[in-house]
């Protein structure tokens, strides 16, 4: 109570300072300062091992943009990106079903959320087992009469990234779904009631009421999906040891840094990656429209 004797103006200054001091100190120490260091390394030929930082100017950036093979792996990231779009569509569909009149709704929701909370190393091990050649997945396909679809899920270069993208979808779809479900549950009922009174069908209510109202949520989910796809690392790294057919931009960056001792170039690649993510997300925001209250 005594604090109130200090005017709200002074209090304001004290509170803002006090509340932000520690968090900003942490943010600066562990995120901003390392980010600046990354930027600095990108202009050097630092090898990641000895503490020597020979300045090379924009040489690393020139090398990135004059070496098309460094960008080639983005084709692999594309699988994760498309997988991410599919993930959003499926998640929205499941959320719509769960939001309708349905039995065992909480049971369905509880089970469908489970993959998201499993340890990701454990998930990769499970799928490694399923994907063996010949393995469980092949047996199941044969069992349901789709034996013709049996394949070498990890070894075949044309398939491997889709197999891995599916693992990513399996792991992260539940979260996307729950976000959509939550958003659907918070849409006001009366909007739908008046729409039904006006004779709107299921598709029309979805198209003209649900979808527009979900715009900002769709945007935030896509943002997570896009940055996730561009930065995928764990799944290809643990599952295939980042073999050439499954390398992503980030696994390749780590390879340049630690196998080829070129931490400077790898830092430049990381900077380029962040810039690409920011550009893609800005474009996406332009396309889908505003909704700047989210993030």
Binding mask 136-175 for another protein (x = CB under 8 A): x--xx--x--------xxxxxx------------x---x-
Which pairs with CB-CB distance under 8 Å and at least 24 residues apart come from 258-262? 258/48, 261/47, 261/48, 261/49, 262/45, 262/47, 262/48
Any contact of residue 55 with another protein (CB under 8 A)? no
Any contact of residue 222 with another protein (CB under 8 A)? no
- Smallest distance from the beta carbon of 82 to another protein, in angstroms? 18
Binding residue (CB under 8 A) for another protein from 61, 74, 135, 205: 135
Q: Which stretch binds another protein (CB under 8 A): 72-80, 81-89, 115-123, 189-197?
A: 115-123
- Smallest distance from the beta carbon of 287 to another protein, in angstroms? 19
Q: In terms of CB distance, is 31 or 194 closer to another protein?
A: 31
Residue 258, CA distances (Å) to 46, 47, 172, 265 in order: 11, 8, 29, 11
What is the C-alpha to C-alpha distance for residues 260 and 240, in angstroms, rounded to an integer?
Answer: 19
- Kindly identify the residues of this chain, within the stretch 229-248, that bind another protein according to CB under 8 A: 231, 233-234, 238, 240-241, 243-245
- Smallest distance from the beta carbon of 25 to another protein, in angstroms? 5
Q: Which stretch binds another protein (CB under 8 A): 75-83, 190-198, 226-234, 282-290?
A: 226-234
Any contact of residue 266 with another protein (CB under 8 A)? yes
Binding residue (CB under 8 A) for another protein from 58, 65, 89, 100: 100
Q: Which residue has the tokens 């080829």?
A: 260
What is the C-alpha to C-alpha distance for residues 230 and 248, in angstroms, rounded to an integer?
Answer: 8
- Kindly identify the residues of this chain, within the stretch 180-219, that bind another protein according to CB under 8 A: 181-183, 185-186, 202, 213, 216-217
Q: Which stretch binds another protein (CB under 8 A): 33-41, 79-87, 191-199, 203-211?
A: 33-41
């Amino acid at each position: 109570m005594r604090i109130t004797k200090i005017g709200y103006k002074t209090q304001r200054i004290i509170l803002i300072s006090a509340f932000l001091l520690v968090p900003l100190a942490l943010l600066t120490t562990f995120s901003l300062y390392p980010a600046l260091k990354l930027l600095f390394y990108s202009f050097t030929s630092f090898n990641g091992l000895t503490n020597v930082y020979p300045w090379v100017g924009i040489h690393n950036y020139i090398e990135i943009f004059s070496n098309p093979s460094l960008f080639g792996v983005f084709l692999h990231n594309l699988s994760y990106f498309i997988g991410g779009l599919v993930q959003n569509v499926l998640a929205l569909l499941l959320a719509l079903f769960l939001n309708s009149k349905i039995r065992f709704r909480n049971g369905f929701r509880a089970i469908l959320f489970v993959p998201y909370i499993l340890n990701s190393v454990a998930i990769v091990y499970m799928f490694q087992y399923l994907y063996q050649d010949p393995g469980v997945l092949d047996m199941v396909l044969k069992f349901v009469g789709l034996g013709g679809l049996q394949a070498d899920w990890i070894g075949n270069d044309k398939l491997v990234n889709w197999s891995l993208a599916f693992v990513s979808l399996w792991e992260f779809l539940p979260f996307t779904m729950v976000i959509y479900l939550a958003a659907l549950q918070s849409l006001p009922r009366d909007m739908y009631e008046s729409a039904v009174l006006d004779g709107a069908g299921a598709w029309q209510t979805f198209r003209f009421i649900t979808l527009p109202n979900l715009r900002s949520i769709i945007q935030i989910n896509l943002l997570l999906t896009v940055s996730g796809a561009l930065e995928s690392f764990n799944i290809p790294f643990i599952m295939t040891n980042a073999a050439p057919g499954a390398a992503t931009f980030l696994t390749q960056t780590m390879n340049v840094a630690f196998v080829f001792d070129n931490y400077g170039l790898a830092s430049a690649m990381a900077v380029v990656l962040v810039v690409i993510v920011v550009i893609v997300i800005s474009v996406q925001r332009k396309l889908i429209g505003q909704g700047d209250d989210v993030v």
